[in-house]
Amino acid sequence: MEFRPILNALMRNKTGLLLIALQVAITLAIVCNSVFIILQRIEKVNRPSGMDESALFTVTSLGFASDYNLRNTLREDLDALRSIPGVVDATTINSVPLSNGGWSEGLSTQPESVPEEQRSNVQSAVYMVDEHGLNTLGVKLVAGRNFTADDVTYRTKNDKGSPHSLIVTQALADQAYPDGNALGKVIYTSIGGKNGPLTIVGIVERLQAPWVGWEKVENSLLVPQYQDGEFDSGSSRYLVRTEPGRRDEVMKQAEAKLGAINTGRIVRGLRSIEEVRGDSYRQDRAMTIVLTTVILSLLAVTGLGIVGMVSFWVTRRVKQIGTRRALGARRFDIRRYFMIENVIVVGLGIVIGLLLTYGFNLWLMKHYELPRLSWYYAPLGALTVLLLGQLAVFGPATRASRVSPAVATRTV
Amino acid sequence: MLSNNMFTYYLRLAMISLKRNRILTALMVAAIALGIGMSMTSMTVLHMMSANPMSHKEEQVRRVELDNWDVNRPWDEDNPAEPPDLMTYQDANNLVQAHRAEHEAAFFPNVLALEPDKRDVKPYMVEALFTTSGFFPIFEPPFRYGTGWSPAEDRSAARVVVIDSETNEKLFGGENSVGRKVRLGGEDYTVVGVLEHWRPTPRVYHVANGAFEDPQSVFAPFSIGIEKQLNSNSNNSCYKDSEPGYAGLLASECIWVDLWVQVKDEADAQRYLSFLNDYVGEQKKSGRFPRPTNNRVYTVAQFLEVQRVVGRDVRTQVWLAFAFFAVCLINTVGLLLAKFMGKSSEIGLRRAVGASKPAVFAQYLTESGLVGLAGGLFGLVLTGLGLLALRKLYAGTSIERLAELDWSMVFASLAIALIASLIAGLYPTWRACQVQPATQLKTQ
């Protein structure tokens, strides 16, 4: 094998060896950890919300006229929205899933009489909808029933409406009642006023909470209520589901129609859920693009650096190469020499790089609550930089192999 | 010493040398430019995010926090030592009434419908901040016309407002509107002050829902917000059930009010803290504040740190960018080394005809400096492009408006590029100086 002479030659140029190895090492550490972050973000962005997102939009109304009657307007608005051609269904809703703004409550499976320290506590997002809520959201009911018109109560300034029923997501049901059979069981929460029991009448497969960065994003519940001036006298929010492909035309009509029904209010916040999703995940998407740019530029810089260094080595060794060729080495042998040399240099970089990779990962775990790097990142990363090294060295090595044996005879 | 003449001569030599090996030169310049572009782009965003617009009143302006939270569960389970970042109405009100600081600003935001007199402007929503009068002396927003209101007007819930310059432009065409009426939420308010364009970055006084948002457009007395039974449209958190109705909310343990005070200095802040501790001790007697006494008088800088105003993604990007820059520099060291070693015979010749080691050193350091400067200039262009890309990527988020190049960053990038390339050039230059004239000349 040629390892020994290559190694000997390399040891005569320790600085060059070390510089390339160091570059490769840092590159490996950054690439592994960045790819890791990118894949996590992609996974986060691609989680389903449970809604029929592409057909949904939301709109808000805020009354200011002194004779503004919120309860009447709610009824009129809902009737008007549901009668627009192309609308599948519409509901009131207190906050929009994926919008990063909403309401959360602590729930317990035990009544208030149980001492606080012993009570279970699960946190969940709260959506207030009417009996059209499930159909509007497009969520899948996997057990139990939907709300009926009789279930729906009004929340006013002095009365939280005391609803009796709620629908929870499967994830929330499993957390509240880990043994299963959550359907028909009760939950204690202050949503409806006093910490009264609410019965779980239905379970939906999935509906995400409004906060996309929340670790319990799958914990949501629906409660049958209209907000009738609980916090301010005039605001209401609607969610509308349209037939496929008709969302944009319906949005325009809905805005015009609501404005016409009552002039003592402002209609605003007209947004499709796709837009809401885009805004909420913008940071994650941007981060993946920034990191991808970093990775690609880094690989390019390191690759070009190797090309530069090896080109220089080739130039310096033209005479030796010529001599080797004159002594019978084939072109293939010369090229192989530089390729193997590169494997050794990059290999050294990989060894240092693995330490850096895990060091960097530990640091990220400590400061950014990132999980541990999966085992396959390091070998895959190492393979990538090894291939990059071979690719970078191929050009200069080929040039080296073309050195004519005659060079050996020229001087000395 | 390096004379001016010699320096220009070295510059000329460096230019010739750089031109001779264009590819290697381009590689070095590109590496430094990429490194500078990458790190300066992320540094600019970090620099803007970490700004503190209240740094001139660092000791005086204090964020007051009291720990009224659940006995079993801290406010922030990741940082159990931190008290809640907002305050109950009753505590904010009690502390404002006690008036133990120079000024107190208790406030919460909400939206109001604004009905302009002008027929051509339709009614629209404005963000309003319901605040006590101390807000203006504490945060010192610049006034174009008029002033804030007085504590007496706080107490009487006078219908007065301070509007921002954009609102003044829209309603009154930019005229001095002090004394004129604005119709808000169905009631007439008298304008007492008009602000200049004011955009503290970050918006230190209220970071709860977006530290990089614009200030509210309209400022009205806190007591009006309470009288109109309004709640904060930002954050509102409760850990236990409250009595029904607005009176129930006011008497509850729900937190939704921001409270800032202005004290004289650090010693005064400590006096204020012990006043807070006494206050909480008093409240504990009536069964409130079940947790151990844990109150804060944060400075603005401490508050921004605790609130993690600088995003984690931005910090990660800065670290990555500097690691990237390190790779670029190592790359440059390698390439410079290759270049200078390739010129051993030339160096040998110069040494043999009488150039001293320092002269050779100066010549080659000039060359690396030139590479660095070129890299810095291209890097600046890349930084501009990078910030442009960031603005596109983060459109609609706080980072969008932060991604703007300022002069300090321009000078910083040029200086960093120059210094980094000189450092990168040191070792290759030193190696070049070690060339023995005799051995090089022998083979010629």
Note the pLDDT tens digit of each residue in A107-165.
888 887 787 667 778 889 999 999 999 999 999 999 999 999 999 999 887 788 889 99
Give the pLDDT mean for A290-301: 91
Give the pLDDT mean for B296-325: 87
For the cut 90, the answer to whether the pLDDT of residue B102 exceeds it is yes
Cα gap A244→A381, rounded to integer Å: 43
Cα gap A141→B97, rounded to integer Å: 53
Place of tokens 């890299």: B375
For B424, residues 6+ apart whose C-beta sits below 8 A from its C-beta are B329, B332, B333, B336, B368, B372
Mean pLDDT of chain B: 87
Cα gap B358→B368, rounded to integer Å: 15
DSSP string, B297-363: EEEHHHHHHHTT-S-HHHHHHHHHHHHHHHHHHHHHHHHHHHHHHTTHHHHHHHHHTT--HHHHHHH
Cα gap A226→B410, rounded to integer Å: 55
Give the pLDDT mean for B22-40: 86
The answer to whether the Cβ–Cβ distance between A266 and B34 falls below 8 Å is: no
Using alpha carbons, select from B146, B107, B123 the residue that is nearest to residue B261. Answer: B107
Using alpha carbons, select from A260, A236, A126 the residue that is nearest to residue A187. Answer: A126
Cα gap A171→B89, rounded to integer Å: 35
Interface of A with B in 247-286 (CB under 8 A): 265-266, 268, 279, 282-283, 285-286
Burial of residue A164 (number of CB atoms within 10 Å: 0-12, 13-18, 19+): middle
Give the pLDDT mean for A360-370: 83
Q: What residue spans of B113-164 are helical by DSSP H?
A: 135-139, 151-155
- In terms of average pLDDT, the best of A126-130, A372-376, B20-24 is A126-130
CA of A141 to nearest chain B CA: how many angstroms apart? Answer: 30
Cα gap B217→B165, rounded to integer Å: 8
Give the pLDDT mean for A332-356: 93
The answer to whether the Cβ–Cβ distance between B390 and A268 falls below 8 Å is: no
CA of A142 to nearest chain B CA: how many angstroms apart? Answer: 32
Please tell me whether residue A59 adopts helix, strand or coil conformation. strand
Nearest residue, CB atoms, A190 vs list B241, B328, B342: B241
B chain contacts of residue A234, beta-carbon cutoff 8 Å: 113
Give the pLDDT mean for A20-44: 93
Q: What is the pLDDT of residues B342-369, one digit of tens each?
A: 777 788 888 888 888 888 888 888 888 9
Cα gap B298→B306, rounded to integer Å: 9
pLDDT of residue A195: 67
Cα gap A208→B344, rounded to integer Å: 68
Q: What is the pLDDT of residues B129-177, one digit of tens each?
A: 999 999 999 999 999 999 999 999 999 999 999 999 999 999 999 999 9
pLDDT of residue B269: 95
pLDDT of residue A206: 96
Give the chain A residue whose CA is nearest to the CA of B33: A301
| % of chain A at pLDDT higher than 90 | 56
For the cut 80, the answer to whether the pLDDT of residue B441 exceeds it is no
- Tokens read off for A302: 């390191």
Cα gap B157→B133, rounded to integer Å: 11
Residue A165 contacts residue A147 (beta carbons within 8 Å): yes
Say which amino acid occupies B355: A
B chain contacts of residue A319, beta-carbon cutoff 8 Å: none
Nearest residue, CB atoms, B393 vs list A286, A308, A315: A286
pLDDT of residue B76: 83
pLDDT of residue B442: 65
The answer to whether the Cβ–Cβ distance between A315 and B342 falls below 8 Å is: yes
pLDDT of residue B2: 53
The answer to whether the Cβ–Cβ distance between B399 and A65 falls below 8 Å is: no
| CA angle, A238 then A239 then A240, to 5° | 115
pLDDT of residue B443: 56
Regarding beta strands B181-184 and B187-195, do their DSSP bridges make them parallel or antiparallel, or are they unpaired?
Answer: antiparallel
For the cut 80, the answer to whether the pLDDT of residue A273 exceeds it is yes
φ, ψ of residue B125 in degrees (nearest 5): -90, 140
Nearest residue, CB atoms, A308 vs list B27, B186, B244: B27
Cα gap A3→A342, rounded to integer Å: 11
Q: What is the pLDDT of residues B60-85, one digit of tens each?
A: 999 999 999 988 888 887 788 999 99
Q: What is the pLDDT of residues B37-64, one digit of tens each?
A: 888 888 888 887 788 888 899 899 999 9
Say which amino acid occupies B85: D
Q: Pick from A231, A352, A363 the residue to mutate for testing the B interface (most B CBs within 10 Å).
A: A231
pLDDT band at B191 (very low <50, low <70, confident <90, very high): very high
Quote the DSSP letter at residue B293: P
Give the pLDDT mean for A234-239: 90
pLDDT of residue A412: 46
**Entry pTM:** 0.81
Helices A3-11 and A331-368 sit at what angle, rounded to 10 degrees? 60
CA of A342 to nearest chain B CA: how many angstroms apart? Answer: 15
Using alpha carbons, select from A403, A73, A23 the residue that is nearest to residue A263. Answer: A73
Q: What is the pLDDT of residues A198-233, one digit of tens each?
A: 999 999 999 999 988 888 999 999 999 999 887 766
Q: What is the pLDDT of residues B105-135, one digit of tens each?
A: 999 999 888 988 876 777 888 999 999 999 9
Q: Pick from B184, B330, B401, B442 the residue to mutate for testing the A interface (most A CBs within 10 Å).
A: B330
Interface of A with B in 6-45 (CB under 8 A): 15-16, 19-20, 22-23, 26-27, 29-30, 34, 37
Taking the Cβ of residue A290 and every Cβ of chain B, the question of whether any pair is shorter than 8 Å is answered with yes
Domain range list for chain A: 3-46+282-410, 65-263
pLDDT band at B398 (very low <50, low <70, confident <90, very high): low
Number of C-alpha atoms within 13 angstroms, CB side, residue A318?
15
pLDDT of residue B344: 79
Helices B312-341 and B22-49 sit at what angle, rounded to 10 degrees? 160
pLDDT of residue A1: 53
A 10 A CB-CB count for A150 gives 10
For the cut 60, the answer to whether the pLDDT of residue B444 exceeds it is no
